[in-house]
Structure 1
Amino acid sequence: MDEKRAMYEARAMSPPRALRRSRPVATVLFCLVVLYTFWQLQPFASHPYHMDVAAVLGDPLDEAIADLVPLEAHIISKCPDTRDALRQLILPVMQRVHDRVNFTLSYIGHPTANDGVECKHGPEECMGNIIELCARDLYPDPKISLGFVMCLTREYEDIPDRTLIEDCALEHAIDFQALNECATKDDGAYGLSLLRNSIQRSSEVR
């Protein structure tokens, strides 16, 4: 009688078998929910706009371009909105998805007669756009070209001042002479064609 009573009490104190099996699953799910919530609530790392973009974006991309998702921004060089967009939108996004996107900066303007272009802030902005496009042409890795563009936009009013360009080129290991040769190649026709094609691209996606 006592043995039966002891067995009954032991069974009564033990949780049902299904409940015991479900406990590890429930624990794992709880941990996943906590981790996911923490990840969602964690803010972007705060970086000054003169930061080392290469350090943030990490190693070069290994995937083929065809396997990456297109990510494109349309800007003009001599504009505070461009500076703010690069700091507050583009860089935080690139920090998180740089290894999954094919990033491109395209420029806004208007084609003119005789294969020319017109820029919102005049010829100086056109030259600034060309210099930034040449940086991308010479250094397709966005860690370099995007870093260079962000450096220039710190002092966008001075674009295309030679000293500013030289300083930013030095900061991001860009060959200033190669930049100059790109912008002036074929009496400027090559750089102008880069800008015209970029403006055409922007007009097509509007």
Structure 2
Amino acid sequence: MTSITMLIALFVVIIGVCTAQKVPVSVYYESLCPDSQAFISEQLYPAMKSPLGRFVDLKLIPYGKSNRSTIGSDVEFTCHHGPNECYGNKVHSCAIEHIQVNSFQNQYTRESLILEYVNCLMQLTRNFPDQLFPGKRCAEQFKLENWQVIEACANQTEGSKLLEKNGELTDTLKPSLTSVPTITFRHQQDESQALALVNFRSAVCKKMQSPLPVECTSLPNSAPVQSATTYLMGLSSLGLILALKI
């Protein structure tokens, strides 16, 4: 193997390391919870829209402190903020299940369009239930072609089954869910929850492995950690030195 080939291989490995790391993040929330609304609109959404968002593998789980009971083949729910929240949780669940990106929405991925829609719902339901639930309004804003599918899902058995599944996921939390929203990193609850509520970006960065991306090393008050760019430059220099010696 020539020195140039070795250097190229080195860069491929480094780039793979730098781009492969994604932090699994799960957000357990409620559709009409003020704290959930604030976290999603003020912390999660801006962070996911920033360059840091590409390092997050996000899972949204609307359920929170709801309770459920099975009556025959039906599932009935009692929700933290009342019946309107049960409907809202179903709309969220059905949207997460059914949203698709059409050929005219090249600016979105399916995941980013879901986040746009959920954020829209959370912003517009801050005055709910004094107004109509904004499921259709947000669907029109983001040109979702299958709002009717989402609406039908929320009003039928499918919505109940999806919400039941979210309840089962919530029940598996250890320790059990006591506050909403609850944010887990790498499927674990720890002290990062408190930080995530006020500075989600920093919480994500604390869960990433070195070398950290520049999106983390450039955060205000961040510790002086060697950035990915610096790391690449250093290894590049090393590769060139080795090439000269060969």
Runs of 5+ unmatched residues, structure 1 = 1-65
| Alignment partner, residue 101 of structure 1 | 56
Deviations 1:149-187 (A, max 9, x none): 111122323269656222111111223212122223xxx
* SS of 1:149 mapped into structure 2: helix
| Alignment partner, residue 194 of structure 1 | 162
| Contact 2:41/2:123, CA 8 A, preserved across alignment | no
1: CA distance, partners of 2:24 / 2:130: 29
| Contact 1:111/1:118, CA 8 A, preserved across alignment | yes
| Contact 1:77/1:159, CA 8 A, preserved across alignment | no
| Contact 1:128/1:159, CA 8 A, preserved across alignment | no
| Alignment partner, residue 208 of structure 2 | none
Equivalences, count: 138
Query: Bigger shift: 131-140 or 73-82?
Result: 131-140
Q: Which amino acid aligns with 2:56?
A: V
Change over 3 Å in CA distance of 1:127–1:163 after alignment to 2: closer
* SS of 1:134 mapped into structure 2: helix
Runs of 5+ unmatched residues, structure 2 = 1-19, 101-109, 177-246
2: CA distance, partners of 1:98 / 1:160: 34
Q: Please tell me whether residue 154 in structure 1 is matched to residue 123 in structure 2.
A: yes
- Which residue of 120, 137, 150 maps to 1:179? 150
Higher helix share: 1
Q: Which amino acid aligns with 1:130?
A: K
Q: Please tell me whether residue 164 in structure 1 is matched to residue 171 in structure 2.
A: no
2: CA distance, partners of 1:204 / 1:160: 34
Change over 3 Å in CA distance of 1:159–1:151 after alignment to 2: farther
| TM-score, with structure 2 as normaliser | 0.50
RMSD of the TM alignment (CA)?
Answer: 2.5
1: CA distance, partners of 2:168 / 2:86: 14
1:146 CA drift (Å): 1.4
- Which of the pair has more CA radius of gyration? 1
Change over 3 Å in CA distance of 1:100–1:183 after alignment to 2: same
